[in-house]
Amino acid sequence: MIIKYIDNVTFKKMLLGAAVNLENNKAIVDSLNVFPVPDGDTGTNMNLTVQSAVKEINNLSESTVTQIADAAANGSLMGARGNSGVILSQLFRGMAKGLKGINKIDNKAIAESFKSASDTAYKAVMRPVEGTILTVARETAEKAMATYIDFEDTSSFLESLIEQAKDTLRRTPEMLKVLKQADVVDAGGKGLIFLLEGALAALKGVEIKQEKIDVQIIETENEVLGFSSEDEIIFTYCTEFFIKNPSKSPEEFLSKIYDKGDSIVCVGDEKLIKVHLHTNNPGQILAIAVKYGELAKIKIDNMKEQFRERLKNSKQNQEKKKYGFVSIGMGDGIKKVFTDLNVDEFLSGGQTMNPSTEDILAAAGNINADNIIILPNNSNIILAATQAKEISDKNLHVIPSKSIPQGITALLAFKDEASVEENIKAMIDAVSEVKTGQVTYAVRDTVFDDMEIKKDEIIAIGEGKIISHGDNPEEQTLKLIENMVDEDSFLITLFYGENVDKKTAEALKAQIEEIAEECDVEIIYGGQPLYYYIISVE
């Protein structure tokens, strides 16, 4: 059967099919990280961004093509995580522009919406890099504009565009040296293809089954941080419990409760399942759960009551100050360092889980200050922070800090009595003065700069390059520091992670003092996951 156009009902099915297909394949996208480090998160970021779009689409009371496209754009904008998520949100935004006023989507409208999507995404990135999702989107749009008139059948047209996207993806290693060195294609481009394939399957009436319901959340100290009014709390009770010796798998239990609330997490094994969700009927959930095994550590909190209590003690009720700070990072020790430097809001995120634009806006919204300075401390969060700045009604300023050491150095350059302009300049200048190193482990075999790296080997990364690899974290840290220190260096700071004990860190400090005699050496408990050590050299 020839399909000549896409109506609003089919369009919605296509977007939902795209989302399911990406969720089913996000692990593949995550595995395409350039560095073989344990924080490949492009697939996760794209998936969470799309899930935010899906939530907005499903909340529509009416659903014309324009309304569906706008909902996808707005939802993805607020839920955008990481660079890939921000770029994806801009693709949705451009698509919505291209479909404005359209009731039935024909091939011409598809082509124009693809071009609008690509153009919008390119404009959103300060320095677009070819060999990325941007190139895949652009060349696919160019093919669409050049050939849409040649196709009578819309599904055949989309098949040809997906083939173009795949061809471009195959060529990304030729465009970007780091992809070729790592022997991978661009992760974001791969994610985009999964979205297109899911949309095409839905257009053809093929049902894509969700392989696993996997809802991820960023844990916060307070479940109500993201709400600006009590009316926004749709599900009142935050409910948590364990099922001991369950008779069924976590997935089977989850299938019984997934439509009874939100923020659902259900993880575990044959011995223990942990459950978290927001619901209006915790008794119903517990009644279902008790059929699966013995319940333990039941905890039910009234989030509306929590919100009222938080509002009573809100920072918004305090006197307005000149400056406020939002910083992003992971680890109890890292959080303490930033808190000691007068950071108002510390968002848990960075490696493995990037906060969304909405998370950053919510954190800034909790601060009563004339000027709010955001420290992303991760190159993959800068775009989301910049997007938050652009849509906030507050005076937000983004310092482009790409690491924890850069964020700390920027704060140390801040002076309360200085003007906003003076402080922003001083903080940005300070960021460029610090070198950052990280020691972690490889999650796959790879070759990088002629180094053959094996899975689970320790790797030392300095200023964005793999410097060395081996079997011992401390040995690799010493090699990394030798590479980073020069005649102008005067201070080395070592943040040790959650899997390193203090005695080991102190012994390493003594070794560093021997090889870098001219430098002062400090060790600080960071408590960060995945990375044995984060090193700052100034």
- The interaxial angle of helices 8-30 and 42-58, nearest 10 deg, is 160
Buried b (16+ CB within 10 A) or exposed e, 249-258: ebeebbeebe
> And the tokens for 174?
């030729």
Beta pairing, strands 345-348 & 465-470: unpaired
Q: Which helix (H) or strand (E) holds 243?
A: strand 237-244
Residues 6+ apart with CB under 8 A from 341: 325, 408, 411, 412
pLDDT confidence of residue 184: 84
Residues 6+ apart with CB under 8 A from 374: 325, 326, 327, 360, 364, 385, 388, 389, 396, 397, 398, 399
pLDDT confidence of residue 352: 60
> Which residue positions in the chain have pLDDT lower than 50?
213-226, 228
Q: Give the CATH H-level superfamily of domain 8-203.
A: DhaL domain (1.25.40.340)
pLDDT confidence of residue 268: 64
Domain boundaries, the chain: 8-203, 234-303, 315-419, 435-537
DSSP string, 69-112: HHHHHHHHHHH-BHHHHHHHHHHHHHHHHHTTT-SSB-HHHHHH
Which residues are registered as beta bridge partners of 522?
Answer: 493
- How far apart CA 58 and CA 55 sit, in angstroms, is 5
Q: Looking at domain 234-303, which CATH architecture does it have?
A: 2-Layer Sandwich (3.30)
pLDDT confidence of residue 119: 95
- How far apart CA 142 and CA 125 sit, in angstroms, is 19
* CATH topology assigned to domain 435-537: Hypothetical Protein Tm841; Chain: A;domain 3 (3.30.1180)
Same topology, domains 315-419 and 435-537? Answer is no
pLDDT confidence of residue 348: 84
* CATH topology assigned to domain 315-419: Rossmann fold (3.40.50)
Query: Which DSSP letter does residue 205 get?
Result: T
18-34 per-position pLDDT tens digit: 999 999 998 888 888 76
Q: Do 491 and 538 touch, CB atoms closer than 8 A?
A: yes
- How far apart CA 7 and CA 19 sit, in angstroms, is 19
CA angle in degrees (0–180, nearest 5) for 168-176-376: 110
